[in-house]
Amino acid sequence: MHRRSRTLILRGAALACLAAAAVLFLDHSHPSGTDVNWATYNGEINGDHYSPLTQINRTNVQRLRVAWRYDTGETGNIETNPLIIDGRLFACTPGGKIFALDATAGKRLWQFDPGVENSQPSRGLSYWTDGHHARLFAGVMNYLYALDPASGQPVREFGENGRIDLRRGLRPGEDYRQQSIALTTPGLVYRDLIIVGGRNPETHPAPPGDIRAFDVRTGKLRWTFHPIPRPGEFGNSTWPSGAWKTAGAANNWAGMTLDARRGILYVPTGSAVFDFYGADRIGNDLFADCLIALDAATGKRLWYFQDVHHDIWDRDLPAPPALVTVERDGHAVDAIAQTTKQGVVYLFNRVTGAPLFPIEEHAYPASTVPGEKASPTQPMPLLPMPFTRQRLTADMLTTRTPAAHAWALRTFATFRSDGQFVPFAVDKQTIVFPGFDGGAEWGGPAVDPVTGVLYVNANEMAWTGGLTRESPGQSPGSALYHAQCAICHGQDRAGSPPAFPSLQHVTEKFSEQQMAGIIAHGRGRMPAFPALGANKVALIYGYLRNPIEERGQNAIMAGGPGSQYNFTGYRKFLDPDGYPAIAPPWGTLSAIDLNTGKYLWKIPLGQYPALAAHGMGNTGSENYGGPVLTAGGLVFIAATVYDRMFRAFDSRTGALLWQTTLPFAGLATPATYSVDGKQYVVVASSGGRDPNGPTGGSYIAFALP
């Protein structure tokens, strides 16, 4: 059924009246016997994370109880936002199996095991129906499967026996089996098309992040958009001549949004490889780091906005944008809001791409790294103001204890900290704030279609990064490790657990054959590297077994100028006790009126239980997964890494109305739906980012008694 109709923006006194009147109707649920589905990733193809349901509301949410719990039998990170369609829930296990449940009882109806070694997180599924036939689309590593929603069996006429290999066609003339792509975020369905992006490596070699549309019935390719333009295509001149042959990524890993009535597809993209050194891609690098509007039927470009020019900070656009209607000069304007890792919201006219708040190009310093040429300017919106702090200074360091503060002051003095878009230096750490995980992250925002208010959760952590030059005396294994692996696991192989595990003793855990499988197929946040091959894997394994460098050997280049300088690794700025070395808040939830650009409220989100037990409870924490907004006046969100809480806030004030402790952290976006007039809220619970926290693999649904 059609979930809702749009209404014009209500302002001023009218908005107050609406809020008062809503209380009278909050207990009214949909008629018995009707279902309100959650049929698309994040609830709707417009990306707004919104539900019209009101049965669970501000007046009764404190009565929520567990309705059912389904344990997948697997342990690992679940980031899935499940689909609920006509009383059935469709979701994924940590290991990549697809299953269906009775959405009222949590009883499993079927499960499909693709038999593919899967180690990449799956954030959701896609559903298509023409009223007579239906298909459920699932990405498992480099494959896109079409399943029968009734049975879970592959639809054999789709592709090759029910699946297509997304590696094919990315690099014409090259062995497709050497390409690396994984569909971690579900594709988007438009008419008879399933449109997908994909996750690519962040080092050379990486395929281009092509946006492709396939026929939902046959799996045949219908159109392709090249975010790294080929000769003769618009944007090719923003790259060096011939760079399209070797440049990679600029991919859509975060998902897309659709204006179905107009047939406009909105595609946010990430950075090009190598993420932190771009001497082989001097120029603005269109269409990396862009919000691109495409004709959904043909893939033709309509308009674009580049959020970061020549990205050398890994500032991917991290989430699908959200469609919203706002008021401008007394008129309703159809708009699109894009959240970013750097903690700002961009708002555009969704048809023309014209900014609805002014955007200015600001000057930033040049790079001091040989061969690099940073963009002299970067855009920043004047409104809304950033939802995270933008520059870390000494007066913002932790005061948790005198010892922690003294340590933070000494350490901070060794860093460069000059705000956003400061190019990295060689052998000097630079503060990245907000950090590599945002600001905003892949969970994305929720938007109220009635008021035009946007709700966004954010990380407010400081990280550091830097470059180091290849040593001409490195052994081949050392050179390969530092070019391909150190970007995540660090120059010292210590990583940043659990997201980036330590490799210091990895050869005691895995044989060379096991390591070859992990490198070929990827694991967790690590993409696949099939192009490395057995010989290079053996060199890396040998280096990890004995990292003492063998001098006098010829170093080998991993490919491209990016191998001249390597990233020193993702490092959080933590104090000696493992807490953030900056003052709170470390995670937030904000409500922003997109009509005016002004904040309605902003609160810390999450806490560290050990600190809360000693009276330091309002700190906020890292959080992953987005909010869900309901017409019942509630913002539901889990997301917090350390406290394992699932919470409901008053959408008007930010007041906490309900919370419960999950068995494992809920690092996923919830979903809400109704079956036979009864409303449920469900969230995945798995943990996986707290190195000291429990992990599992469950889905838990809540409802009123």
The string of DSSP letters for 13-27 reads: HHHHHHHHHHHHHTT
Angle of helix 476-484 versus helix 533-545 axis, rounded to 10: 100
- What is the maximum span of the chain, computed from C-alpha positions, in angstroms? 80
Go through the domains of the chain in sequence order and give each one's CATH number. Answer: 16-465+575-703 (2.140.10.10), 471-556 (1.10.760.10)
For residue 473, the model assigns a pLDDT of 62
pLDDT along the chain (705 residues), means of 10: 38 39 38 79 97 98 98 95 98 96 98 88 96 97 97 98 97 93 97 97 94 98 98 98 96 98 98 96 98 98 98 98 96 98 98 98 96 97 98 98 98 96 96 97 98 98 92 69 74 73 77 73 72 71 66 36 76 96 98 98 98 96 98 98 98 98 98 98 96 95 98
Residue 438 in contact with residue 566, Cβ under 8 Å?
no
Angle, vertex CA 501, rays to CA 523 and CA 399, nearest 5: 135
Give the bridge partners for 78, in sequence order.
none
Task: Say which residues have a Cβ less than 8 Å from residue 515's Cβ, sequence separation at least 6.
Answer: 506, 507, 537, 540, 541, 544
Strand ranges (E), 15-79: 50-51, 65-71
b/e 346-379 (16+ beta carbons within 10 angstroms → b)? bbbbbbeeeebeebeeeebeebebeebbbbeebb
Residue 644 in contact with residue 663, Cβ under 8 Å?
yes
- Nearest by Cα to 393 from 378, 408, 403: 408
Taking residue 20's Cβ as centre, other Cβ atoms within 10 Å add up to 9
For residue 520, the model assigns a pLDDT of 72
| Structure tokens given for 338 | 């894009």
Integer CA distances (angstroms), 343 to 208, 256, 387, 461, 627, in order = 27, 19, 5, 11, 16
| Structure tokens given for 213 | 């549309």
The rounded distance, in Å, linking the Cα atoms of 389 and 386 is 7
Q: Cα 616 vs. chain centroid, distance in angstroms?
A: 29
b/e 504-531 (16+ beta carbons within 10 angstroms → b)? eebbeeeebeebbbbbbbbebbbbbbbb
Name the pairing type of β-strands 628-630 and 50-51: parallel
For residue 530, the model assigns a pLDDT of 74
Integer CA distances (angstroms), 155 to 86, 215, 227, 687, 700, in order = 20, 13, 31, 33, 30
| Structure tokens given for 462 | 């400081």
Burial class (CB in 10 A: 0-12, 13-18, 19+), 462: buried
Strand, coil or helix: what is 274?
coil
DSSP 79: -
- CB-hemisphere CA count at 13 Å for 28? 7
The rounded distance, in Å, linking the Cα atoms of 503 and 257 is 38
For residue 548, the model assigns a pLDDT of 60
Q: pTM of the entire structure?
A: 0.89
Strand, coil or helix: what is 154?
strand
The rounded distance, in Å, linking the Cα atoms of 578 and 532 is 35
DSSP 436: T
